DNA sequence: TTCTAGTTTAGAATTATTATAAACTAAATA
DNA sequence: TATTTAGTTTATAATAATTCTAAACTAGAA
């Protein structure tokens, strides 16, 4: 379960996302952030993981709400794909993806692996929030 | 309605997508390709346009099927976004997009406006099909 | 300890998409 | 040209992802 050290971090993330630290939300944090590698997921896969391996039952609605709040707060990043399903990533650093249309798998590309030498100005009155490259690959 | 000149082109596009040229499919072609500017759309918006302004009634299922066949054949391109809805583009040349999360609008970026000076090798056994940049903008 | 505003939940509602099967039609063949 | 058949269209049903709802519950302030 959640070790004390991470607990503080989770509470901080939750509070700064305007969420109270509840049993369910801490369980979600555990499955999202208590990892060595970064984690790509959909709400469906996260829900399965939590409810098969977790120590607390968490409803789908709570998972949706928490993931959305974390995404707004910047602790998760929504990935661009052409599927009608949302993919999220715990790696919020600027980085890019390979998207394999056969297997529908996403793989991180480290930001240092792609360099842009020219980027356009945003339209008037707007600023750039984020820039992502998706490289579609096939056999 | 469809002028004679375009008709031939539409029939060619349909045949090479393994579709017979029917009244309904020609009407879809008219709304997709008889344009000066490139066209961004979802099936929903295309359906509205056709059935409000078109001269032939076309069912939603036919629109879905035709758009999918054109996308497979390469006459339309599916755009990457974070929404749970498919966006398509009649501009199939290599190009990129601004995505305004406020208004949910997509704007083309001409391929010459972005230059990449470093791109990673694809994983073993795979090749790069396509590379797209999406720049998310906000106020 | 009590109270209040926020939270969780199951299930209903909504939205996008895909599947189905009966009626229709393009175009190959006689 | 008439007939045939394989492909097409359509309304509607089914499915999948997400959002909404309202009743029961709980964190944390007073």
Q: pLDDT for A53-105, tens place per residue? A: 988 999 999 999 999 999 999 999 999 888 889 999 999 988 899 988 777 77
* b/e sequence B29-54, b meaning 16+ C-beta within 10 Å: bbbbbeeeeebbbebeebbeebeeeb
Lookup: tokens for B74: 């390469």
Q: Check if B103 contacts A (Cβ < 8 Å).
A: no
Distance from chain centroid for Cα B49: 15
Contacts of A107 in chain B (CB under 8 A): 123
Q: pLDDT for B58-100, tens place per residue? A: 999 999 999 999 999 999 999 988 888 999 999 998 889 998 8
Nucleotide C16 C1' to residue B85 CA (A):
7
Long-range contacts of A98-102 (CB under 8 A, 24+ apart): A98/A134, A98/A135, A98/A136, A98/A137, A98/B122, A98/B123, A98/B126, A99/A134, A99/A135, A99/A136, A99/A137, A100/A136, A100/A137, A100/A138, A100/B126, A101/A136, A101/A137, A101/A138, A101/B129, A102/A138, A102/A139
Using a 7 Å CB cutoff, list residues 67-126 of B near strand C: 68, 84-86
Q: pLDDT for B6-42, tens place per residue? A: 899 999 999 999 999 999 999 999 999 999 998 999 9
Q: Check if A131 contacts B (Cβ < 8 Å).
A: yes
Tell me the pLDDT of chain A averaged across its residues.
91
Contact A138 B126 (CB under 8 A): yes
Q: Within 13 Å of residue A64, how many CA atoms lie on the same side as its CB?
A: 5
* Per-residue model confidence (pLDDT) at position A4: 60
Lookup: tokens for A22: 């509840």
Q: Check if B133 contacts A (Cβ < 8 Å).
A: yes
Contact B134 A134 (CB under 8 A): yes
Using a 7 Å CB cutoff, list residues 25-64 of B near strand D: 25, 56-62
Contact A131 B126 (CB under 8 A): no
In chain A, the residue whose alpha carbon lies closest to the alpha carbon of B133 is: A133
SS3 content of chain B, % helix, strand, coil (to 5): 35, 25, 35
Nucleotides of strand D under 7 angstroms from a protein beta carbon: 7-12, 16-21, 26-28
Query: Is A11 or B5 the better-scoring residue by pLDDT?
Result: A11
Residues A21 and A13: their CA atoms lie apart, in Å, by 9
Residues A128 and B29: their CA atoms lie apart, in Å, by 35
Check if residue B65 sits with its Cβ under 7 angstroms from strand D. yes
* Per-residue model confidence (pLDDT) at position B3: 53
| Entry field: residues in chain A | 139
Q: How far is residue A121 from each of residues A2, B103, B107, measured CA to CA in Å? A: 45, 18, 13
Average pLDDT score over residue span A8-33 = 96
Nucleotide D3 C1' to residue B22 CA (A):
21
pTM of the model: 0.88
Nucleotide D18 C1' to residue B3 CA (A):
43
Domains of chain B in sequence order? 4-79 (1.10.10.10), 93-137 (no CATH)
Give all strands (DSSP E) within chain A, no chain letters: 40-41, 77-79, 87-89, 96-100, 105-109, 115-118, 127-138
Nucleotide D11 C1' to residue B52 CA (A):
19
């Amino acid at each position: 379960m959640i070790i004390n050290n991470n607990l503080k971090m989770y509470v901080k993330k939750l509070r700064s996302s305007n969420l109270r630290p509840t049993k369910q939300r801490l369980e979600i944090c555990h499955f999202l952030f208590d990892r060595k590698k970064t984690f790509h997921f959909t709400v469906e896969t996260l829900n399965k993981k939590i409810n098969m391996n977790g120590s607390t039952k968490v409803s789908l609605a709570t998972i949706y709400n928490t993931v959305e709040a974390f995404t707004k707060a910047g602790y998760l990043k929504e990935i661009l794909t052409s599927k009608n399903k949302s993919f999220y990533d715990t790696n919020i650093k600027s980085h890019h993806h390979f998207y394999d249309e056969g297997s529908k798998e996403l793989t991180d590309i480290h930001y240092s692996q792609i360099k842009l030498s020219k980027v356009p100005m945003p339209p008037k009155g707007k600023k750039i929030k984020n820039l992502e490259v998706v490289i579609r690959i096939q056999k």
